[in-house]
Chain A
Amino acid sequence: MQAAEKKVFERPRTLKEVPFHFCPGCHHGIAHRMVAEAIDKFQLRERTIGVASVGCSVFLYDYFDVDVIEAPHGRAAAVATGVKRARNDRIVFSYQGDGDLASIGIAETIHTANRGENITIIFINNTVYGMTGGQLAPTTLLGQKTSTSPYGRDFMQDGYPIRMTEILATLEGTAFAARVAFTTPKNINMAKKAIEKAFQFQKEELGFTFVEVLSACPTNWGLSPVDSMKRVENEMIPYFPLGIFKERKAADVL
């Protein structure tokens, strides 16, 4: 008689049985899975409300088997605030790109963090506007050529790439702020733990939680998936260092 098979890998319950539409080598799929795994881990699916933002990730509701509301461009943090204030026993997360969160939505992001809204934001930083065709983002690296910075980002013209995690970590309302990437098994483990911690903190009502994911956009970068991964490792991480920038202890909440 054979030993019973042990299942070691399966699709998270929170993800639907549909293939992602993302481009080959895009990191949205990995980030989606990790968020779904965190929701599963704490058995939050049936009381989670997601906020989709404008960008490649707007189709969040096609993949996550949770209630979802679609926010206008940049306003996801304000929408999430409204959801949470109306239903404070629900788990609320938004999932936003860098154009959405760090440019048009920076006011909503900062004030949501500053109020200590008990929500989680997953922030995908791929240094470009993905859905609109790879234009300059606030996170675009110096010298990086995009469709609206054809000569490369020049700080005299466009300023410097903005580090959102560091900014938000300075705010008292922020309970947890971390930057992660998927470039190595070690980094993937760290990312998984950070996303889990963000949801755990929200569950424990510790305040605003934020995880920035350095993410590849091979299509708009004009690189192969493998070279895109190398770019995250060699060009993005040096400017956007990985790590936990704020971790409130439970005692801090009062």
Chain B
Amino acid sequence: MTEKQDLVKGNEAVAMGALDAGCRHYFGYPITPQSDIPEYLSYHLPKLGGEFVQAESEVAAINMLLGAAATGVRAMTSSSSPGISLMQEGLSYIAGSEIPIVIINMSRSGPGLGGIAPSQGDYFQAVKGGGHGDYHLLVLAPNSVQELYDLTILAFELAEKYRNPVMILGDAMIGQMKEPLLRRTPEKIVEYPKDWALTGAKGRPQRVLKSLYLKDGELTAHNWKLHQKYEAMKKDEIRYEEVFVEDAELILVAFGSAARISRTSVMMAREQGMKVGLFRPITLFPFPEPRLADFAKKDVGFFVVELNTGQMVEDVKIATAGRSVDFFGKPPGALPTPEEIFEKIREIYPG
């Protein structure tokens, strides 16, 4: 028996995932190409007793999120590249104050006002911290409408598990496209203790959520504590998808939209008898470095495809130190075709 699937737009799948994860608080500001998310939630949240607030700016939105999530409720925001830039200050405070939130970046293209076409130019911003200070977001990179839904639900769990902001990094393509969605609502929402949440100091000592530590050694200790969380994520939360990697002599590495296109190119290569595989990181932070390092022990080449001029390729080079890493980048403006990528495979394929 096949379960009922609906034809759903990527942005709406995010909104559905948020609702099904129990999120009832949304704060955001309109920006293309993600406005379907606030539009959907502005319709549904009031009916569910939730709160939808269209803030005066992304700066205000991320800080409303900081306040709401500090009380222990599941809360989220969504935006796109320029708006995400404006939220970096708040994200730094949220990470420093260890408050669980979910943030969606349906990225467009930059720098500056750039354009509204899909791009992966926000990779560095997403995985290397983004704001000031020594911190990381946990970053999930879906490549389908179904995964947008599933990973949004997971994002709320991981945010609470680690008391850390979790980002879904999509782009204009997967946010705007429609695909069948199986709305597989979790039977039980996984939740974690909230003995830190601000609810009023009734019958218990005061609770404080802050990121200012001025006393001797306090901030050092706080930074190491955060670091340990990131190490725990690296140990337990790495996610990826592999296609034809077992016997591969050349492994394509791509995430999100670029991975969808690359997959077709891999199939084309296989039809030609070339032993080519695809490795798709689903978590961008933590990056699946150990898995790539395993491949690098064998005589295998790597080929990174990104919708930018080369960002994740740096992490692949670190993970596969010593192996040859080729790169094909397509900055925003036009998506690469599977044929373009296949041609490049043919050029670099060993032998």
Report yes or no: A82 in contact with B200, Cβ–Cβ below 8 A: no
Q: Does B318 contact A (CB under 8 A)?
A: no
Report yes or no: B70 in contact with A83, Cβ–Cβ below 8 A: yes
Q: Does A80 contact B (CB under 8 A)?
A: yes
Report yes or no: A82 in contact with B212, Cβ–Cβ below 8 A: no
A66 contacts across to B, CB distance below 8 A: 200-201, 206
* Binary CB contact string for chain B from 206 to 241 against chain A (1 if under 8 A, 0 otherwise): 111111100000000000000000000000000000
Q: Which of B59, B68, B202 contacts A83 (CB 8 A)?
A: B68
Q: Which of A47, A68, A83 contacts B206 (CB 8 A)?
A: A68
Q: Does B64 contact A (CB under 8 A)?
A: yes
B55 contacts across to A, CB distance below 8 A: 78, 111
With both chains docked as a complex, state the minimum distance between the C-beta of A32 and any C-beta of chain B, in angstroms.
Answer: 15
Q: Does B57 contact A (CB under 8 A)?
A: yes
Q: Which of B27, B89, B208 contacts A82 (CB 8 A)?
A: B27
Report yes or no: A81 in contact with B90, Cβ–Cβ below 8 A: no
Report yes or no: A69 in contact with B209, Cβ–Cβ below 8 A: yes
Interface centre among A67, A75, A107 (most CB of B within 10 A): A67
Q: Which of A46, A67, A83, A107 contacts B208 (CB 8 A)?
A: A67
CB-based nearest B residue for A59: B212
Q: Does A90 contact B (CB under 8 A)?
A: yes
Interface centre among B53, B70, B207 (most CB of A within 10 A): B70
Q: Does B311 contact A (CB under 8 A)?
A: no
Report yes or no: A81 in contact with B64, Cβ–Cβ below 8 A: yes
Report yes or no: A86 in contact with B200, Cβ–Cβ below 8 A: no
B42 contacts across to A, CB distance below 8 A: none
Q: Does B97 contact A (CB under 8 A)?
A: yes
Report yes or no: A86 in contact with B63, Cβ–Cβ below 8 A: no
Report yes or no: B51 in contact with A85, Cβ–Cβ below 8 A: yes
Size category, B interface: 35 or more
Report yes or no: B67 in contact with A86, Cβ–Cβ below 8 A: yes
If over half of B's interface residues share one DSSP class (helix, strand or loop), that class is named, otherwise mixed; here it is: mixed
Q: Which of A48-56, A120-128, A138-146, A184-192 contacts B (4 or more CB under 8 A)?
A: A48-56
* Binary CB contact string for chain B from 314 to 350 against chain A (1 if under 8 A, 0 otherwise): 0000000000000000000000000000000000000
A79 contacts across to B, CB distance below 8 A: 63-64, 66-67, 70
B210 contacts across to A, CB distance below 8 A: 52, 61, 68-70
Restricting to B81-97, which residues have a CB under 8 Å from any CB of A? Answer: 89-90, 93, 97
B125 contacts across to A, CB distance below 8 A: none
* Binary CB contact string for chain B from 155 to 180 against chain A (1 if under 8 A, 0 otherwise): 00000000000000000000000000
With both chains docked as a complex, state the minimum distance between the C-beta of B204 and any C-beta of chain A, in angstroms.
Answer: 9
A71 contacts across to B, CB distance below 8 A: 63, 66-67, 93
A78 with B64, Cβ < 8 A, contacts A85-B51, A86-B73 known: yes
Report yes or no: B67 in contact with A70, Cβ–Cβ below 8 A: no
Report yes or no: B212 in contact with A67, Cβ–Cβ below 8 A: no
The distance in angstroms between the C-alpha atoms of A170 and B89, with both chains bound, is 31
A82 with B199, Cβ < 8 A, contacts A72-B89, A108-B56 known: no
A68 contacts across to B, CB distance below 8 A: 198, 206-210
Report yes or no: B212 in contact with A86, Cβ–Cβ below 8 A: no
The distance in angstroms between the C-alpha atoms of A68 and B199, with both chains bound, is 10
| Between-chain CB contacts (< 8 Å), 11 pairs | A46-B203, A68-B207, A70-B97, A70-B211, A72-B93, A78-B60, A78-B61, A81-B53, A85-B51, A86-B69, A107-B60
Beyond A47-B202, A48-B200, 16 additional pairs, beta carbon < 8 A: A46-B203, A47-B200, A61-B208, A61-B210, A67-B201, A69-B97, A69-B210, A70-B208, A71-B67, A75-B59, A78-B67, A79-B67, A82-B70, A83-B70, A83-B198, A87-B73
Query: B-contacting residues of A (Cβ < 8 Å)?
Result: 45-49, 51-52, 58, 61, 64-72, 75, 78-87, 90, 107-108, 111
Closest 8 CB pairs of A and B: A82-B67, A82-B64, A78-B63, A46-B202, A82-B68, A70-B210, A79-B67, A86-B68
